[in-house]
Structures are given as C-alpha cells and as structure tokens.
Amino acid sequence: MSIITRITGIAGALTLAVTLAGCSDTAAGTGSNVPTFAGSAANCEPLPQPNITPDTPTIAILGTEGDALASYAQDTGVVVAAAKTAKARIIVNGISGSADAPNLLANVVLEGEGNNNLARTNDLNCKAAKVDEALDTLTKGKSAPTPNVFDALNALAGNLSHNPSKLPVDVVLLTPLAARGGGIDLSDPKTLADPVAAINTLAAKGIVPSCENWRIYGVSPSTGLSDVMAAQLKDFWIRYAHKCGGALVAWEDHLAAFPSTTPVASADTSQIKVEQTKTEVTATLASDVLFAADSADLLDPSAPALGELLNLANKNAGKIVITGHVNPTGTGTGAGLSLQRATTVKDWLVDHDVDENRISVIGKGAADPVYPDPKTDAEKAANRRVVTVIHTEA
C-alpha cells in the first residue's frame, strides 16, 4: 500500500487512491514483507522547479535510510496531509551513517496547478507521488547503525540557504537521535552527561548550522535508551536547537499534532527517583546508571546520580539504609552482588564525608522485584536497583 493511500486513511482530507491518466500512483513491490512507501511518479511529466514565494510554508522530512523508515508511515501521512492543506513546499532528504546521504529526493510545493480541476488534481497527485517515491527510495537504502543526523541537518541548511519563504521551517526527524558525528557519540553516557561540551565540539568543527526559525520535531527519538539516557538525549537536542537558533517542538513516538509551535518542556535529567514523606526520603537509583553488568565497580557516568544522593544525605540528618536489588533472571541473582553494590554506594558516601555510623547496607538479591517475571529490558532494568532510605531526623 502506498503512503499516498495511507495518507487518505490518516488525514481523511483528500482521496488519493484514484489513478488518473498521466499520473499513475501504483504500489511497487519490494520482494519482502516489510511495508514500504511505494508510490510512483513514473507516468508524470518532469516537475518544474517549485514556485516559492515569501508566504510559502516549508516542511522538510529527514528520514533514516533503510526498512525502519516504514514504521514512520503514520507520521509522514500526517505531515504530507498538512503540507497539502497549507500548500507547502516539502523537501525529502535522507539520513545515513555518513555525510553523503541522499539529498533533495523531493522538492515540490503541494499545490495543484493547471487550467481546470482535472489538471490541478493530476498535478497535485504527481507532486505527492514524488514525495512518496522519495520516501520509498530511502526505505530501500542501507540502514546505518548510528545515523549521522548532524550532517543531514547541515545539508538541509544548505538546501535552504536561499529560501525565499519568510515563514518558519518545520523539520521532521524520522530517526533515532542518539546520533554519531563530528567527533561526538550521543549513544555514549559520558557524552550525554555533558551536552554543552558536546555542542561546543560540534560548533568548533562548523557543523552546527544556522537553523533560525526552524521548528524541529523528534519522532521516536530515544528508541532503545534507558529513561535516564532518554532524558539526557532530549536535553541535548533542546540545547542544540537553541544553539542554532531554532526550537525543539516535538519529542514523541509519533506525531500527535502537526504543525506545532510550542517548544517541548525541559528534560528532567535527574538520575534518581525520589519519594518523600515527613519522616524519610527514598531515593531509587537504577543499577545500570551505577554499575556494569555483573559488577559492583562504579561507572564513570555514575557521579551525577551519586552527587544527587549525597545532596539528599546532607539535607537530612537521620539514619541511612542502602538496599541492593538484582534481577530474578540471568546471572548474578543472589544476595552477594546486591550487597556488594549497596556497600559500594555506602563507601562512596563515606568518602564524601557522610558519617559511616549513619549508614547500614542490605543485599536483597532477587527478592522484592518490581516485576517478578520480567519480559522486557525495561522491566529487567527496573528490578536492578539500589534503594536508599534516608530518615529526615536523627
């Protein structure tokens, strides 16, 4: 099924399943069971350069190459339907693992032109089919394990360097945003822990383009990341958009609304979950933040989370009980590892001037899991934790 047909089901605005003489919109097979964006503009006349005025809206779709792009069909349907309603210019560029991703696969204004209704409808269908064909081309490209979004954004800035339109540019990123490029790797916890340094590294290499008046949409941006890393990644992109002159206006699995004008809320990058009553403060730290698998040695990126815990210990004068937990499945399910991890956290606090006499440690092993029969990585991660209860008064 082509994306043009899917657009009809999503937007409900125009029926695009009609095949008109002069512009056939037929599905193209791919030889696999993976759904693709399969439109064809083969029977359309070559499209002229788009006629862009100061009042022409601009929408750019930057899509990751490979089969994964097919999972964004719902989002491209929403975007293309909105582009047709607004008579907007739409650009389709690719995101790959290098700087040579496909560029300007589509560059059309989705407004039907011609001397009568049939001609205008035919022209609009051909332009929409060009967008469909561009997305289909991207789905057939080679997938990149870590897409280089930074070079893709720079390529788009070059495309728009002489844009006659004075309206905001909506830039839709259909890709995981744990990007690598320009000497930084956003899948690395150390990089995410210092987003300002990462952005400065990119800027020093000239790959933070001017994105003035851009509204940037992150769709399925943090796929596969822990909650902490996802929040840090969101914080990076909020800062990145601000640095280049634009705004991040969406950070969601699928577009709930398009276009959007409201910047997303600041990310909560706290690495500990805190619950408080009048008598005690309970802080839960994911063990993945603190320790490598089957280890009680602290990771370098654990310092911010432990710093938050230290602040809580210093603000409250009572006894501290640190309890380690491990997952009930896999290796390291006994009490030994959980006790070692709890003791490591205790030792860190003592090294940072917390009175050792205040602290006791417990190793619960796999007892008291959040999820007794974990099925997903997220459920397993929730079981692996260090819980610290700090009494508010001595």
CATH of the domain at 336: 3.30.1330.60
pLDDT, mean of residues 246-269: 91
Given a cut of 90, whether residue 25 has pLDDT beyond it is no
The predicted-structure confidence for 274-319, as pLDDT tens digits, reads as follows: 899 999 999 999 887 888 888 899 987 788 889 889 999 999 999 9
Question: Which of 257 and 99 is assigned the larger pLDDT?
Answer: 257
pLDDT, mean of residues 122-128: 94
The span from the CA of 230 to the CA of 381, in Å, is 14
The answer on 157 and 278 residing in a single domain is: no
Structure tokens that stand for 285 in this block? 């730290």
Final residue belonging to a domain, choices 252, 280, 310: 252
pLDDT, mean of residues 332-343: 83
Residue 158: its H or E element: helix 149-159
pLDDT, mean of residues 329-357: 87
The answer on 231 and 296 residing in a single domain is: no
Structure tokens that stand for 196 in this block? 């300002």
Angle between helices 227-244 and 195-204 (to 10 degrees): 40
The answer on 292 and 241 residing in a single domain is: no
Q: How high is the pLDDT of residue 334?
A: 63
Q: What are the φ and ψ backbone dihedral angles of 276, each rounded to 5 degrees?
A: -135, 140
Classify residue 22: in a domain, yes or no.
yes
With a pLDDT cut of 70, the percent of the chain lying above it is 87
Reported as half-sphere exposure (CB side, CA atoms, 13 A), residue 28 has a value of 20
Task: Kindly give, in sequence order, each residue whose CB lies less than 8 Å from that of residue 221, ignoring residues fewer than 6 positions away.
Answer: 173, 175, 176, 177, 233, 234, 237, 251
Least confidently predicted of 3-17, 135-149, 305-319, 367-381? 3-17
Classify residue 264: in a domain, yes or no.
no
Question: Which of 177 and 35 is assigned the larger pLDDT?
Answer: 177
Given a cut of 80, whether residue 76 has pLDDT beyond it is yes
The sheet with strand 247-252 has its strands ordered as 106-109, 89-95, 58-64, 169-174, 214-219, 247-252
The answer on 281 and 184 residing in a single domain is: no
| Highest mean pLDDT out of 303-312, 324-333, 370-379 | 303-312
The answer on 301 and 187 residing in a single domain is: no
Given a cut of 90, whether residue 77 has pLDDT beyond it is yes
Residue 123: its H or E element: helix 117-139
In the chain, DSSP finds a helix count (H) and a strand count (E) of 11, 13
In 10 A of CB 270, how many CB atoms? 12
Reported as half-sphere exposure (CB side, CA atoms, 13 A), residue 30 has a value of 21
Torsion of CA 311, 314, 317, 318, to 10 degrees: 50
Classify residue 257: in a domain, yes or no.
no
Q: How high is the pLDDT of residue 201?
A: 94
Q: How high is the pLDDT of residue 32?
A: 34
The answer on 130 and 233 residing in a single domain is: yes
Least confidently predicted of 27-31, 208-212, 308-312, 332-336? 27-31
Q: Report the chain's terminal Cα–Cα distance, integer Å.
A: 67
Classify residue 132: in a domain, yes or no.
yes
Q: How high is the pLDDT of residue 269?
A: 66
pLDDT, mean of residues 101-121: 94
Classify residue 382: in a domain, yes or no.
yes
The answer on 226 and 125 residing in a single domain is: yes
- Is the dihedral angle over the CA atoms 301, 341, 272, 149 positive or is it negative? positive
Domain around 46:
3-252
Distance of CA 111 to CAs 26, 126, 375, Å?
A: 21, 10, 49
Least confidently predicted of 84-93, 171-180, 191-200, 310-319? 191-200
Given a cut of 70, whether residue 200 has pLDDT beyond it is yes
**In whole numbers, what is the pLDDT of the chain averaged over residues?**
85
Please name which of 363, 73, 324 lies closest in space to residue 219, comparing C-alpha atoms.
Answer: 73
What is the b/e burial string over 50-73, where b = at least 16 CB atoms within 10 angstroms of the residue's CB? eebeeebbbbbbbbbbbbbbbbbb
| 241 class by beta-carbon count within 10 Å (0-12 exposed, 13-18 middle, 19+ buried) | buried
pLDDT, mean of residues 317-322: 96
The answer on 38 and 161 residing in a single domain is: yes
Give the pLDDT band of residue 20 (cuts 50, 70, 90).
Answer: very low
Per-residue DSSP letters for 312-370? HHHH--S-EEEEEE--SSSS--SHHHHHHHHHHHHHHHHHTT--GGGEEEEE-TTSS-S
Q: How high is the pLDDT of residue 304?
A: 82
Given a cut of 70, whether residue 188 has pLDDT beyond it is yes
The span from the CA of 353 to the CA of 143, in Å, is 50
Classify residue 146: in a domain, yes or no.
yes
pLDDT, mean of residues 115-123: 93
The answer on 43 and 126 residing in a single domain is: yes
Final residue belonging to a domain, choices 252, 285, 301: 252
Residue pair 315/274 in contact (Cβ under 8 Å)? The answer is no
The answer on 138 and 22 residing in a single domain is: yes
Structure tokens that stand for 140 in this block? 């057939």
Classify residue 258: in a domain, yes or no.
no
The answer on 291 and 203 residing in a single domain is: no
The span from the CA of 345 to the CA of 360, in Å, is 11
Report how many domains make up the chain. Answer: 2
Least confidently predicted of 59-73, 292-306, 327-341? 327-341
Phi and psi based region of residue 253 (left: phi greater than 0; alpha: psi -120 to 50; beta: remaining): alpha
The span from the CA of 171 to the CA of 3, in Å, is 19
Given a cut of 80, whether residue 174 has pLDDT beyond it is yes
Give the pLDDT band of residue 10 (cuts 50, 70, 90).
Answer: very low
Structure tokens that stand for 213 in this block? 């008046």
Please name which of 78, 83, 75 lies closest in space to residue 111, comparing C-alpha atoms.
Answer: 83
Given a cut of 60, whether residue 4 has pLDDT beyond it is no
The span from the CA of 301 to the CA of 291, in Å, is 9
The answer on 286 and 243 residing in a single domain is: no
Given a cut of 90, whether residue 322 has pLDDT beyond it is yes
Classify residue 187: in a domain, yes or no.
yes
pLDDT, mean of residues 162-182: 94
Given a cut of 50, whether residue 2 has pLDDT beyond it is no
